[in-house]
């Protein structure tokens, strides 16, 4: 629509500057020292929503960081879209690897470099600006609600309670989320599935205190060695996970699904070059896209123990630790897999050590049917602005709130992400291309239009 194009063209610099302002707030949910920034960021999001023209915007306290809720209701008889996003970000460390300050957004080659630029402030803000555009051009034909939380990066521990306590407030006909990636600006795509997550921490204890490695070394098992051996045993030579029962509930994809998925363009050489690796790794019998989309995985997220400071210290440590997560695919259950992981460590631990394994957080996998009204609206919206029908893909990441919304609100979630896999989410030098930011703002109004009038 020309009015939208004109409006965006006239206001694009302001849209960008507003986003940059939001990116300057270090809203790191994982760190207690950032609590004041979290509150400042929630306030800023609320304020931006008010300026965009919502009739109601409120901050809801939770046991953790607050949720920002806002709505623009034009007619309760019309369809309602609930937009979900998050204003919290991952910690920026290691800081020395950033080329510019993580909270000092810098534009280089048409890309905004900053923590949260893509995940998810940049993508969430597209929805705020799309709303403004719809209101200002008098073209809004449906109701829009916003639920912007501050704990996504720490596993949304309080969102479930918030959603179930506010079902009436959040009532909608679909949930729209932009917190994922598409293949490229040339090849748009929509996520139809996401992996779930089980996250545990393992503590291995050997002797009751740190020992002199000269006096005791050779006579007492080293917990770091034992932990490393146990971890190494979790994959076999084909990179299959060896934990009994791990794959038991996996919903296998049909040959036809795998064929469709294989149509998504994939350049192995580019993929490797981008990551600076020589060879790809993964479960035998599956392509790279399948390994990150339709197969469950097990990853070490951190491992530590003993002396890691400067210089040398000849210690035989008392303890070793690891943080381990599994990505899950449809039909797997996060609690069941976490229990399986925890029990497995107890089973394989040799008598030289004791094991303490604890659950961090989990989330369920999710699937959106291609024939749902919400998916169709998103597909048509992207087709309109990209000139191509988006490819349905299964995303490798996890957004546990998808299954939460489905369970609590009884509606489908559509994942219309405008990021790229190369956006360095959760890594140093996170970025978001300006072109993607503007494309998102251009596309979102069409989603509302087609969802209201298919
Ligand atoms: Zn995110």
DSSP 123-138: HHHHHHHHHHHHHHTT
The helix/strand/coil state of 41 is: helix
Q: For residue 281, what are its two tokens?
A: 């790794």
Residue 338: phi and psi, rounded to 5, are: -60, -45
Is the link from the previous residue into 104 a cis peptide, with omega within 30 of 0? no
Q: For residue 53, what are its two tokens?
A: 């023209």
Å from CA of 90 to ligand 1 middle:
9
Among residues 394, 360, 399, 333, the alpha carbon closest in space to that of 30 is found at 360
Å from CA of 220 to ligand 1 middle:
44
Catalytic residue among 18, 71, 151, 152: 152
Q: Is the pLDDT of residue 182 over 90?
A: yes
Å from CA of 273 to ligand 1 middle:
25
| Rg (alpha carbons) of the chain, rounded to whole number | 23
- 431 to 21, 92, 186, 300, 354: CA distances (angstroms): 15, 13, 18, 25, 43
CB 231 within 8 A of CB 356: no
Give the predicted TM-score (pTM) of the model. Answer: 0.77
Domain with CATH 3.40.630.10 in the chain: 2-194+366-452
Q: Is the pLDDT of residue 166 over 80?
A: yes
Task: For residue 95, give the DSSP letter.
Answer: G
pLDDT at 263: 79
Å from CA of 245 to ligand 1 middle:
30
- 164 to 203, 259, 406, 408: CA distances (angstroms): 34, 39, 11, 6
Residue 454: band (very low, low, confident or very high) from pLDDT cuts 50, 70, 90: confident
CATH code of the domain occupying 2-194+366-452: 3.40.630.10
Known active-site residue 18: no
Q: Is the pLDDT of residue 436 over 70?
A: yes
Catalytic residue among 37, 71, 88, 364: 88
Q: Is the pLDDT of residue 15 over 90?
A: yes
The helix/strand/coil state of 148 is: strand
pLDDT at 356: 98
* pLDDT tens-digit readout, 59-110: 999 999 999 999 999 999 999 999 999 999 999 999 999 999 999 999 999 9
Å from CA of 15 to ligand 1 middle:
20
CB 423 within 8 A of CB 274: no
Mean pLDDT of the chain: 95
Domain with CATH 3.30.70.360 in the chain: 196-250+296-363
Q: Is the pLDDT of residue 216 over 90?
A: yes
CA separation for the pair 198, 324 (Å, rounded): 8
Q: What is the mean pLDDT of residues 128-154?
A: 97
Å from CA of 119 to ligand 1 middle:
4
Task: Express as a percent the part of the chain with pLDDT over 70.
Answer: 99
Q: What is the mean pLDDT of residues 197-226?
A: 97
Q: Is the pLDDT of residue 8 over 90?
A: yes
Å from CA of 317 to ligand 1 middle:
37
Note the Cα 175 to chain centre separation in Å.
Answer: 16
Residue 136 has, within 13 A of its CA and on its CB side, a CA count of 16
Known active-site residue 270: no
Among residues 448, 424, 26, 414, the alpha carbon closest in space to that of 193 is found at 414
pLDDT at 264: 84
Å from CA of 177 to ligand 1 middle:
10
pLDDT at 256: 73
Q: Is the pLDDT of residue 398 over 90?
A: no
Å from CA of 114 to ligand 1 middle:
14
Task: For residue 252, give the DSSP letter.
Answer: P
pLDDT at 309: 95
pLDDT at 283: 97
* pLDDT tens-digit readout, 282-337: 999 999 989 998 899 999 999 999 999 999 999 999 999 999 999 999 889 999 99
Residue 401: band (very low, low, confident or very high) from pLDDT cuts 50, 70, 90: confident
CB 319 within 8 A of CB 204: yes
Residue 74: phi and psi, rounded to 5, are: -105, -30
Q: Is the pLDDT of residue 261 over 80?
A: no
CA separation for the pair 329, 419 (Å, rounded): 22
Q: For residue 296, what are its two tokens?
A: 């469950």
Q: Which CATH class is domain 196-250+296-363?
A: alpha beta
């Amino acid at each position: 629509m020309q009015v939208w194009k004109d409006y965006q063209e006239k206001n694009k610099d302001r849209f960008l500057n507003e986003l940059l302002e939001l990116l300057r707030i270090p809203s790191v949910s994982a760190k207690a020292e950032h609590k004041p920034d979290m509150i400042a960021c929630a306030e800023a999001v609320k304020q931006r929503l008010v300026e965009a023209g919502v009739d109601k915007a409120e901050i809801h306290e939770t046991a953790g960081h607050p949720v920002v809720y806002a709505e623009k209701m034009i007619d309760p008889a019309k369809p309602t879209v609930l937009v979900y996003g998050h204003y919290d970000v991952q910690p920026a460390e290691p800081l020395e690897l950033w080329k510019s300050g993580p909270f000092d957004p810098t534009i280089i080659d048409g890309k905004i470099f900053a923590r949260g630029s893509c995940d998810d402030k940049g993508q969430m803000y597209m929805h705020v600006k799309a709303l403004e555009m719809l209101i200002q051009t008098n073209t809004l034909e449906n109701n829009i609600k916003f639920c912007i939380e501050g704990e996504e990066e720490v596993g949304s521990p309080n969102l479930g309670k918030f959603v179930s306590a506010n079902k009436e407030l959040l009532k909608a006909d679909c949930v729209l989320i932009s917190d994922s990636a598409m293949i490229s600006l040339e090849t748009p795509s929509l996520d139809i599935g996401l992996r779930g997550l089980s996250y545990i921490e393992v503590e291995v204890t050997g002797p009751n205190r740190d020992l002199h490695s000269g006096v005791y070394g050779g006579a007492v098992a080293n917990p770091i060695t034992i932990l490393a051996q146990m971890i190494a045993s979790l994959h076999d030579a084909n990179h299959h996970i060896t934990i009994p029962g791990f794959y038991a509930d996996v919903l296998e994809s049909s040959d036809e699904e795998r064929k469709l998925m294989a149509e998504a363009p994939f350049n192995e050489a580019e993929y490797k070059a981008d990551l600076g690796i020589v060879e790809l790794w993964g479960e035998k019998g599956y392509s790279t896209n399948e390994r990150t989309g339709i197969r469950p995985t097990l990853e070490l997220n951190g491992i530590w123990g003993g002396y890691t400071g400067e210089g040398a210290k000849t210690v035989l440590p008392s303890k070793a630790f690891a943080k381990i997560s599994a990505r899950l695919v449809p039909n797997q259950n996060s609690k069941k897999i976490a229990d399986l992981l925890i029990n497995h460590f107890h089973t394989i631990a040799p008598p030289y050590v004791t094991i303490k394994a604890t659950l961090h957080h989990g989330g369920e996998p999710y699937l959106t049917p291609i024939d749902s009204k919400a998916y169709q609206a998103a597909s048509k919206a992207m087709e309109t602005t990209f000139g191509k029908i988006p490819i349905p893909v299964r995303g490798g990441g996890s957004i546990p709130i998808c299954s939460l919304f489905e369970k609590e609100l009884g509606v489908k979630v559509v994942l219309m992400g405008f990021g790229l896999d190369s956006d360095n989410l959760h890594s140093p030098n996170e970025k978001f291309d300006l072109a993607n930011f503007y494309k998102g703002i251009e596309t979102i109004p069409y989603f509302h239009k087609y969802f209201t009038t298919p």
